[in-house]
Structure 1
Amino acid sequence: MPETKNYYVGLDVGGTSVKMGLFTEDGELLAKHSVPTPPLIDAAGYAAVTGGIEQLVGKASVAILDVKGIGAAIPCPVPADGNVKLQANIQLDVPGLSEALLARCRNATVKVENDANAAAMGELWAGSARGNRSFVFVTLGTGVGGGVVIDGSVVSGVVGAGGEIGHMSMNPDETRVCGCGGRGHLEQYASATGIVTSYKMECAARGVEPVELTGTSDSRSVFEAAKNGDEAAWAAIDTMCDYLGRALALISSVVDPEAFVLGGGTSNSSDMFMDRLVERYKSYALAVCTETPIEVASLGNDAGIFGAAYVALQAAGK
């Protein structure tokens, strides 16, 4: 009898597309596919995803009955019990989607996870955090997200707020309001949006015009301006490093991770800010935590599909 192989599918459900990956138990990526994100609230929407999975496994000539786990990374807080109560910017019926996946892939275990937490698990399985048992993943994009991994498992929390690093209150005197309704949150200073806002404020304070920006989260142009000697841009980067360094220091005193891993689009400019960030982190951290490494994620946009597949593999008991 030939040896039966087990395969795992990772779904990264975004606002515009559902990215998919097919993996072996060892984390080898066999095939990728994507479909436009439909409203995942009815049979037509579910069929778009299950049909995409059929195309995915077909690319690798794998039988769909050999898929033993399907993980779905979604942009919502996912409590430990999996009962999603809060959704934003997406139409998603989690129980309905799960049932549809189970109906089409009868031998699979289905697991839903927050997208940032899933990305953290992807880095643990096959990325920069491979070999660690505990680390903190920080996504620096339009906002700031994260995932806390302890003893090989992601911390979701009772209401799914585990890893919501971007909403740590860092400045109680801040008058501007965060997107969540709070004030002075890390996201307001360390996200791509926060960097652009700080840059504009620094330009206004200096009485100079900012460089041309393509949008409210175009931090790439701010980093380019810094390369060209723009002092306001460097001031915005310093603000980002100071707040993020202090946040990581606070986290280190609670979690004491083996490493911090930075992902998201802003991490692509780490060569511009990493030395400053490490210096600020060390200045704030408890003495015994100052040598905790701060690294850059390696899986890029594939972290979500890797992590979704990995949480499915874990749920299946492998």
Structure 2
Amino acid sequence: MRHYISIDIGGTAIKYGIIREDAEILLRKSMPTEAYKGGPGILEKVIGIVADLQKESEADISGICISTAGMVDIKEGSIFYSAPLIPNFIGTQFKRTLEERFHLRCEVENDVNCAGLAECRSGSAKGSKVALMLTIGTGIGGCILLDGKVFHGFSNSACEVGYMHMDGSDFQTLGATSILTKKVAERKGECEENWNGYRIFEEAKRGDAICIRAIDEMVDVLGKGISNICYVLNPEVVVLGGGIMAQEEYLKDKIERAIKKYLVSGIEEHTTLAFARHQNDAGMIGAFYHFCEMTENQKRN
């Protein structure tokens, strides 16, 4: 079987390893992104990862698959827009640089699109005709999948729902994990560093009123945002991913009730809410699926 290097570049960590042609991950590793080093620093990290994995792999490597934060030109394999979290990321040429250096095919796709592709091919949205993938973390990212394929829009910018205007702000400013920790810390008069999503949920389960209230406010925002998107897309399934979505048992009923509050019954009754199955592997798996798709498209053309 063929082996591929798969790399998932996030704002906090770069997850990477070896994936087999049947989408089985054979090796998993991780390193800090150190986003403050910007696009050039991340590109150097990726070059080092590929060089190291080539040495470690017992089999020949057949390609490089990359999932990354930022808006991606999938033909060029480069970043054409990025939030300030990663300075100087715009213009980073992953595909050209890696192909010239390692003489291996490289394909690059946005991280949320990769997560959506993974869930649609072999996860919670498998077999769906119209699916919406949302990742809830530092921000909120979105992906539309039609018949198992990512809908990129006219300029590769479809479903950037985090920027969607809501209640005098935007979806991700109101509904992401980052605002949850800020609210709790502020209301308790403590440093934000003392709090994270995991601790907030654990305290909420113990009955902490401030944590419960902050989560309920976040859930209401998510319900409203998801409903607004559903009015446009009418998806068969909405899949939620991102670190905080590990709290499925605590959150699912709450989010379903919030969606029911904002979505008319004729649509709500035909919309399924699911949680991501691949979790932390979604980026690596989806990057591989994207690589295969781009390769097949080239063969057909």
- Name the TM tier (shorter chain): 0.7 to 0.9
Distance 2:145 2:134 in 1: 11
Q: What residue is the counterpart of 1:276 in the other structure?
A: 254
Distance in 2 between residues matched to 1:81 and 1:54, nearest whole Å? 25
Amino acid at match of 1:195: L
SS at match of 1:157: coil
Relative to structure 1, the CA distance from residue 90 to residue 19 in structure 2 (aligned partners, 3 Å threshold; closer, same or farther) is: farther
| TM-superposition CA deviations, 1:28-55 (whole Å, max 9, x none) | 2233345665876499656413303304
Secondary structure at the residue paired with 2:280? helix
The equivalent residue for 1:317 is 296
Is 1:19 aligned to residue 15 of structure 2? yes
Judging by fraction of residues, say which structure has more helix. 2
Alpha-carbon distance between aligned partners in 1 of 2:39 and 2:139, rounded to the nearest angstrom: 24
Who is 2:5 aligned against?
Answer: 9
Q: Quote the offset at 1:91 in angstroms.
A: 5.3
**Aligned partner of residue 193 in structure 2, secondary structure:** coil
Equivalent in the alignment of 1:85 = 80
| Alpha-carbon distance change, 146 to 158 in structure 1, aligned in 2, over 3 angstroms | same
TM-score, normalising length from structure 1?
0.78
Q: How does 1:208-219 map to 2 (within 5 A)?
A: 209=188, 214-215=193-194, 218-219=196-197
Tell whether 2:175 aligns with 1:190.
yes
TM-superposed CA distance for 1:297, in Å, is 1.0
Are residues 1:52 and 2:30 paired? no
Counting only pairs closer than 5 Å after superposition, residues 70-219 of structure 1 correspond to structure 2 as 70-79=64-73, 81-82=75-76, 84-87=79-82, 88=84, 89=86, 92=89, 96-103=93-100, 106=103, 108-172=104-168, 184-199=169-184, 203=187, 209=188, 214-215=193-194, 218-219=196-197
Query: Residue 162 of structure 1 aligns to a residue in which SS?
Result: coil
Q: Which has the higher contact order (CA 8 A, sep 6+)?
A: 1
**8 A contact 1:135–1:258 mirrored in 2:** yes
User: What is the identity, as a one-letter code, of the residue corresponding to 2:64?
Assistant: I
What does the per-residue CA deviation read over 1:137-177, in whole Å, with 9 as the maximum and x for residues that have no partner?
111112222222122122233444323222211102xxxxx
2:240 to 262, 277, 280: 262
Q: Percent identity?
A: 28
Matched, 1:227 2:205: yes
Cα deviation per residue 1:59-102 (whole Å; 9 max; x = unaligned)?
A: xx2113xx1x4221121112465453223415558664323432
Question: Any stretches of 5+ residues in structure 1 without a counterpart?
Answer: 173-183, 204-208
Q: What SS does structure 2 have at the residue aligned with 1:316?
A: helix
Gaps of 5+ in 2: none
Q: What's the offset of the Cα at 1:198?
A: 3.7
> What secondary structure does 1:84 align onto?
strand
CA distance in 1, matches of 2:108, 2:95: 8
Shift of 1:257: 1.6
Residue 241 and residue 41 in structure 1: after superposition, are their counterparts in 2 closer, same or farther (change >3 A)?
A: closer
Question: Which moves more between the two structures, 259-268 or 30-39?
Answer: 30-39
Is 269-278 or 80-89 further displaced after alignment?
80-89
Q: List per-residue Cα deviations over 1:91-130 (Å, max 9, x = no partner).
A: 5586643234324554x53221111211222222332223
Larger mean CA deviation between 153-162 and 250-259 belongs to 153-162
Higher radius of gyration, 1 or 2 = 1
Q: CA–CA distance in 2 between the matches of 1:214 and 1:95? A: 31
Q: 2: distance between equivalents of 1:234 and 1:91?
A: 38
Question: Are the equivalent residues in 1 in contact too, given 2:224–2:259 (CA < 8 A)?
Answer: yes
What TM-score do the two structures reach when normalised by structure 2?
0.82
Please give the alpha-carbon distance, in whole angstroms, between the structure 2 residues aligned to 1:133 and 1:167.
25
Seen in structure 2, the aligned counterparts of structure 1 residues 271 and 234 have a Cα distance that, compared at 3 Å, is same
**Structure with the largest fraction of strand:** 2
Asked if the contact 1:78/1:159 (under 8 Å) is kept, the reply is no
Tell me whether 144-153 or 26-35 shows the greater mean CA deviation: 26-35
CA distance, structure 2, for counterparts of residue 53 and residue 93 of structure 1: 26
Output the aligned Cα RMSD: 2.9
